[in-house]
Amino acid sequence: MKSRNWVRLFLSTLLVGGVATSIIGFLLKWEEYKELFITFDVLEILSVLFWLFGVGLIFSVISQMGFFAYLTIHRFGLGIFRSTSLWNIAQILLIIFVLFDLVYFRYQLFSKENEALTSYLLIAGYVFIVGLIVAFMKRKDTNKEAFVPALFFMIVVTVIEWFPALRVNEEDWLLLMLIPIQICNAYQLLMLPKFLQQKRS
């Protein structure tokens, strides 16, 4: 890919991350922020928007680091296993482990007395479902061999990128970081072929 197209992908992903975080941030704390809109406090709204957009840029950079790291790891994996099917099996096993870890170890670390496992299962289920949807979209856009790598990226790499919020374990931060990272990851995964086509054209 030409450096110009890499820059375009980088900048567009930054914009996606900033906008997504701004929207998600206002939605998550709407009860807190709606008074600003009712009173039409423009300066305060712009202040909050500026902060959320800046946080979104950070999330976007984390997402892009994870994406380029995975592109490298994927090539290494294919080289080490010397077989796409064996590498896919390894990725599937890692997906299962990460989803299990996302439920069991988080429950062990953060659950309160007599707290049900339900909320921990729901968040892992949400990550899995979003991963499946994006992986099916990637498969449809390219080929069936892209399904497992896309699923691995959308689950395993997303959870690794999400780790700072997982350590804090505050609900608002969990969702504020997770959803924009998923959006940025999906955007890069689905848009990369289009930027590659720009190179050939």
Per-residue pLDDT of the chain (201 residues), as tens digits, is: 567 888 889 999 999 999 999 999 999 988 888 888 878 788 988 999 999 999 999 999 999 999 999 999 999 998 988 888 999 999 999 999 999 999 998 998 888 888 888 989 999 999 999 999 999 999 999 888 999 999 999 999 999 999 999 988 888 889 999 999 999 999 999 998 887 776 554
The domain limits of the chain are: 3-200
Q: Are the C-beta atoms of 195 and 9 separated by less than 8 Å?
A: yes
Instruction: Please tell me the pTM assigned to this model.
Output: 0.91
* Residue recorded with tokens 């600003």: 36
Alpha carbon of residue 182 to chain centroid = 3
pLDDT of residue 142: 87
Cα 22-168-118 angle, rounded to 5 deg: 90
CA 42 to CA 23: how far, in whole Å?
16
Tell me the DSSP string of the chain. --HHHHHHHHHHHHHHHHHHHHHHHHHHTHHHHHHHHHTT-HHHHHHHHHHHHHHHHHHHHHHHHHHHHHHHHHHHHHHHH-SHHHHHHHHHHHHHHHHHHHHHHHHHHHPPTT--SHHHHHHHHHHHHHHHHHHHHHHHHS-GGGHHHHHHIIIIIHHHHTHHHHHH--HHHHHHHHHHHHHHHHHHHHHHHHHHHHHH-
